[in-house]
């Protein structure tokens, strides 16, 4: 039976889950995979934490050099997060010819070409299933199961923290601040929630996913990003009245005019399967030119779901110890050569407050028509003190066109106030 030694860098939530799966299922992996996987080394400053997980004191390393020079270690699992020590440690492991398995999306999104270059040179494996969508096996699906297709789009809810917050706002009518506090209390959101709520985490993930989907390096600077912090109770109320809910979507499209990738709050129609993805769950929807639509759903975070992705990579790596792929030109030049759509198109959800008087709606309709924006649906609610809320759903139009329509509305007169504009997906 093949014996494979594993080191774990960081015994936080994901490291702890990884350790548990590797040790609890050791006999099962011998039987099903014909592999004897042994944790030979861990790097964790918090010794108490390591011991509480059942780690033998003898395998707690003092520093990274001790890990990478250990001949018993074949695979190094990096689950520390961050891009300073983590980058240094991953590069050290690769240079020593150790295969690396990581969950570090920020490291990957920012430094993938460099990591890959070093891995190739050392003929070391580099695996990253756990960087995107936790336990949902999306990376290997893109690598191994979709080659027959030109992928036309990849869309998803790929951040569990924001999905928990948005689900609470939608179902309970709570404010953003209240929902965030609850998410922090439950341990979904961090004390500093910026990476999740401002869309950075989803941006790192869609950078990796769209690079794989569209066979080119999609850099994070080429991704439009908007977080969820400005959403209000009213946004949810009016979206609900028209049969929509609000989700933080990561969207990648491969069009004839180039690639477009964005992360932003989106009104999603109630009959779109992504609208039913609730709480901290994640989902990814793919469209391939041969297969059509595919949707993957599951837990995008947590000790055991992310540990599942890590250990699956460890098993795959144990069977493929050499550098295994990528399928595209993964260099900084690759980023520069990729053609992006400069003026993308979408449907929009526009929320206004208007003076309830003769001719106001006609002025609005003219402003949209002059900007070449088609109106798909209009709803005016009962007015209070002579002011009426109006929601307009547009047909798909260019962003430049909706911006033109909005600036025309702004110039009209004081009888129209623009309360919010959101992207919309049917
Ligand atoms: N903070 C991430 C989320 C964890 O909420 O989805 C997994 O990347």
CA 135 vs CA 131, 185, 253, 297, 327: distances in Å: 10, 23, 24, 9, 23
The residue contributing the CA closest to ligand 1 atom 7 is 301
Tens-of-pLDDT digits for all 426 residues of the chain? 999 999 999 999 999 999 999 999 999 999 999 999 999 999 999 999 999 999 999 999 999 999 999 999 999 999 999 999 999 999 999 999 999 999 999 999 999 999 999 999 999 999 999 999 999 999 999 998 999 999 999 999 999 999 999 999 999 999 999 999 999 999 899 999 999 999 999 999 999 999 999 999 899 999 999 999 999 999 999 999 999 999 999 999 999 999 999 999 999 999 999 999 999 999 999 999 999 999 999 999 999 999 999 999 999 999 987 777 666 777 776 677 789 998 989 999 999 999 988 888 999 999 999 999 999 999 999 999 999 999 999 999 999 999 999 999 998 876 889 999 999 998
Locate 53 and state its tokens. 């997980």
CB neighbourhood size of 103 (10 A): 27
Nearest atom, ligand 1, residue 159 CA: 6
pLDDT at 337: 77
Active site residues: 205
Helices (H), 263-378: 303-319, 332-337, 360-370
The rounded distance, in Å, linking the Cα atoms of 26 and 386 is 70
Determine the Cα angle at 143 with ends 156 and 29, to 5°: 100
Give 224 Cα–ligand 1 centroid separation in angstroms: 19
The rounded distance, in Å, linking the Cα atoms of 387 and 389 is 7
pLDDT at 327: 64
Give 232 Cα–ligand 1 centroid separation in angstroms: 22
CB neighbourhood size of 256 (10 A): 5
Give 189 Cα–ligand 1 centroid separation in angstroms: 8
pLDDT at 325: 64
To test the ligand 1 pocket, which listed residue (13, 160, 194, 247) has its Cβ within 8 A of the most ligand atoms?
160
- Asked if residue 300 has its Cβ within 6 Å of ligand 1, the reply is yes
pLDDT at 326: 65
Nearest atom, ligand 1, residue 132 CA: 8
Determine the Cα angle at 175 with ends 169 and 177, to 5°: 115
Give 187 Cα–ligand 1 centroid separation in angstroms: 11
Give 274 Cα–ligand 1 centroid separation in angstroms: 17
How remote is the C-alpha of 154 from its chain's centroid?
Answer: 11
Contact criterion met (CB below 8 Å) for 102 and 108: yes
pTM of the model: 0.95
CB neighbourhood size of 182 (10 A): 16
Burial of 184 (0-12, 13-18, 19+ CB in 10 A): middle
Nearest atom, ligand 1, residue 196 CA: 1
pLDDT at 342: 85
Q: Is 289 helix (H, G, I), strand (E, B) or coil?
A: coil
- Asked if residue 134 has its Cβ within 6 Å of ligand 1, the reply is yes
Q: Is 39 helix (H, G, I), strand (E, B) or coil?
A: strand
Residue with tokens 């003769």: 358
Locate 328 and state its tokens. 């595209």
Beta bridge partners of 373: none
- Asked if residue 160 has its Cβ within 6 Å of ligand 1, the reply is yes
pLDDT at 316: 95
- Asked if residue 196 has its Cβ within 6 Å of ligand 1, the reply is yes
The rounded distance, in Å, linking the Cα atoms of 174 and 168 is 7
Give 90 Cα–ligand 1 centroid separation in angstroms: 21
The residue contributing the CA closest to ligand 1 atom 8 is 301
Nearest atom, ligand 1, residue 301 CA: 7
Nearest atom, ligand 1, residue 134 CA: 7
């Amino acid at each position: 039976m093949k014996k494979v030694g594993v080191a774990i860098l960081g015994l936080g939530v994901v490291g702890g889950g990884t350790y548990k799966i590797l040790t609890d299922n050791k006999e099962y992996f011998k039987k099903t995979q014909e592999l004897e996987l042994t944790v030979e080394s861990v790097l964790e400053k918090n010794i108490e934490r390591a011991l509480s997980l059942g780690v033998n004191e003898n395998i707690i390393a003092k520093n990274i050099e001790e890990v990478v020079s250990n001949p018993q270690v074949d695979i190094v699992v990096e689950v520390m997060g961050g891009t300073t020590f983590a980058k240094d440690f991953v590069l050290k492991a690769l240079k020593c010819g150790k295969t690396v398995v990581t969950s570090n999306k920020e490291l990957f999104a920012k430094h993938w070409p460099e990591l890959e270059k070093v891995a190739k040179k050392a003929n070391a494996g580099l695996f990253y299933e756990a960087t995107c969508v936790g336990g949902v096996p999306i990376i290997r699906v893109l690598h191994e199961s979709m080659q027959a297709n030109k992928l036309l789009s990849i869309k998803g809810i790929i951040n569990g923290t924001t999905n928990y917050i948005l689900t609470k706002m939608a179902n309970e009518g709570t404010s953003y601040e209240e929902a965030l506090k609850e998410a922090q209390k439950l341990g979904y959101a961090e004390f500093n929630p910026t990476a999740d709520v401002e869309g950075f985490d989803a941006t790192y993930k869609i950078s990796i996913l769209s690079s794989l989907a569209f066979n080119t390096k999609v850099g994070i600077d080429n991704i439009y990003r908007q977080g969820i912090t400005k959403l209000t109770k009213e946004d949810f109320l009016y979206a609900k009245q028209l049969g929509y809910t609000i989700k933080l979507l990561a969207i990648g499209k491969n069009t004839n005019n180039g690639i477009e990738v964005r992360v932003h709050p989106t009104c999603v129609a109630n009959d779109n399967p992504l609208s039913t993805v609730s709480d901290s769950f994640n989902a990814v929807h793919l469209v391939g030119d041969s297969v059509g639509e595919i949707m993957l759903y599951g837990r995008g975070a947590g000790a055991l779901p992310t540990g599942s992705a890590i250990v699956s990579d460890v098993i795959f790596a144990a069977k493929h110890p050499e550098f295994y792929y990528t399928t595209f030109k993964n260099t900084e030049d690759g980023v520069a050569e990729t053609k992006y759509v400069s003026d993308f198109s979408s449907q929009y959800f526009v929320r206004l407050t208007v003076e309830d008087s003769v001719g106001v709606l006609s002025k609005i309709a003219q402003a949209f028509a002059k900007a070449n924006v088609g109106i798909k649906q209009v709803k005016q609610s009962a007015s209070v003190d002579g002011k009426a809320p109006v929601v307009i759903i547009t047909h798909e139009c260019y962003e430049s066109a909706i911006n033109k329509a909005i600036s025309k509305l702004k110039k009209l007169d004081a009888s129209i106030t623009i309360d919010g504009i959101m992207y919309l997906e049917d």
